[in-house]
Structure 1
Amino acid sequence: MQSFGAPRPTSNPYVHMLDDALAATPGVEHVRFDRRQALFGRLDAIQFHWPETLFGAGTGAKALARRAFAVALRARISLGRVAIIRTVHNVELPNDVAPWQRRYLEWVERRTDHRIVLNDLTELPEGAESTLIPHGHYREWFADVEKTDAAPGTLGFVGLVRRYKGVEDLIRVFRDTADVAPDLRLHIAGNPTSAGIADEVRESAKADGRIELDLRYLSEPDFARAVMGSSGIVLPYRFMHNSGTVLAALSLNRPVLVPRTAVNDALSAEVGRGWITMFDDELADSDLLAFAEAIRTLPEGEPDLSARDWDRAGVAHRDAFRRAIAHRRAGAR
Structure 2
Amino acid sequence: MTPVRVLTSNREPRSTTNPYITMLTAALRRTPGVEVVTFSYRSALLGRYSVVHLHWPETILGQGGRRLTGRVARWVLAALLLLRLTLTRTPVVRTVHNVELPADAGPLQRLLLRWFDRLTTHRILLNDRTESAGPATTIPHGHYRDWYTGPRSPVVPGRLQYVGLVRRYKGVEGLVEAFRSVPDDSLTLGIAGAASSARLAATITTLADGDPRVTLHLGFLSDDALVATVTAAELVVLPYRFMHNSGAVLAALSLDRPVLVPETRVNADLAAEVGPGWVHTFAGDLTSADLEGALAAVRRPRAAAPGLDARDWAGAGHAHLAVYRLALSRAGSGVRA
In structure 1, C-alpha distance between the alignment counterparts of 2:255 and 2:333, rounded to whole Å: 45
Paired residue for 1:155?
Answer: 160
Paired residue for 2:309?
Answer: 306
User: Of 39, 42, 52, which residue of structure 1 is paired with 2:48?
Assistant: 42
User: Of 11, 22, 45, which residue of structure 1 is paired with 2:17?
Assistant: 11
Paired residue for 1:117?
Answer: 125
Paired residue for 2:173?
Answer: 168
Question: Which 4+ stretches in 1 moved above 4 angstroms?
Answer: none
Contact kept, 8 Å, 2:153 with 2:229, in 1: the verdict is no
The structural deviation recorded for 1:202 is: 1.4
In structure 2, C-alpha distance between the alignment counterparts of 1:295 and 1:106, rounded to whole Å: 43
Secondary structure of the residue aligned to 1:290 is: helix
Residue by residue, what CA displacement relative to the aligned partner does 1:136-161 show, whole Å, maximum 9, x if unpaired?
Answer: 11111112x01221111111111111
The structural deviation recorded for 1:279 is: 0.9
Paired residue for 1:75?
Answer: 83
The structural deviation recorded for 1:298 is: 5.4
The structural deviation recorded for 1:52 is: 1.1
Corresponding letter in the other structure for 1:32: T
Structure 2 segments unaligned to the other structure (5+ residues) = 1-6
Q: 1:72 to 1:285 in 2, by over 3 A?
A: same
Paired residue for 1:91?
Answer: 99
Contact kept, 8 Å, 2:275 with 2:303, in 1: the verdict is no
The structural deviation recorded for 1:97 is: 2.2
Contact kept, 8 Å, 2:151 with 2:227, in 1: the verdict is no
Paired residue for 1:185?
Answer: 188
Aligned pairs, how many?
328
Which segment drifts farther, 217-226 or 129-138?
A: 217-226
Contact kept, 8 Å, 1:161 with 1:191, in 2: the verdict is yes
The structural deviation recorded for 1:60 is: 4.5
Secondary structure of the residue aligned to 2:315 is: helix
> TM-score when scaled to structure 1?
0.95
> TM-score when scaled to structure 2?
0.94
Secondary structure of the residue aligned to 1:311 is: coil
Contact kept, 8 Å, 1:6 with 1:32, in 2: the verdict is yes
Does residue 315 (structure 1) correspond to residue 318 (structure 2)? The answer is yes
In structure 2, C-alpha distance between the alignment counterparts of 1:36 and 1:283, rounded to whole Å: 46
In structure 2, C-alpha distance between the alignment counterparts of 1:298 and 1:165, rounded to whole Å: 29
In structure 2, C-alpha distance between the alignment counterparts of 1:85 and 1:19, rounded to whole Å: 15
Does residue 246 (structure 1) correspond to residue 249 (structure 2)? The answer is yes
Contact kept, 8 Å, 1:44 with 1:81, in 2: the verdict is no
The structural deviation recorded for 1:297 is: 4.5
The structural deviation recorded for 1:195 is: 1.5
In structure 2, C-alpha distance between the alignment counterparts of 1:107 and 1:136, rounded to whole Å: 29
Q: 1:214 to 1:60 in 2, by over 3 A?
A: closer
Residue by residue, what CA displacement relative to the aligned partner does 1:26-60 show, whole Å, maximum 9, x if unpaired?
Answer: 11112211322322332110001111111113235
In structure 2, C-alpha distance between the alignment counterparts of 1:158 and 1:95, rounded to whole Å: 22
Corresponding letter in the other structure for 2:245: N
Contact kept, 8 Å, 1:233 with 1:256, in 2: the verdict is yes
Residue by residue, what CA displacement relative to the aligned partner does 1:241-289 show, whole Å, maximum 9, x if unpaired?
Answer: 0000000000000000011000000000000110001111121111111
Residue by residue, what CA displacement relative to the aligned partner does 1:195-239 show, whole Å, maximum 9, x if unpaired?
Answer: 111112111112322112222211111111110111110111100
Paired residue for 1:21?
Answer: 27
Paired residue for 1:146?
Answer: 151
Contact kept, 8 Å, 1:22 with 1:314, in 2: the verdict is yes
Secondary structure of the residue aligned to 1:29 is: strand
The structural deviation recorded for 1:82 is: 1.1
Secondary structure of the residue aligned to 1:47 is: strand
RMSD: 1.4
Does residue 59 (structure 1) correspond to residue 59 (structure 2)? The answer is no
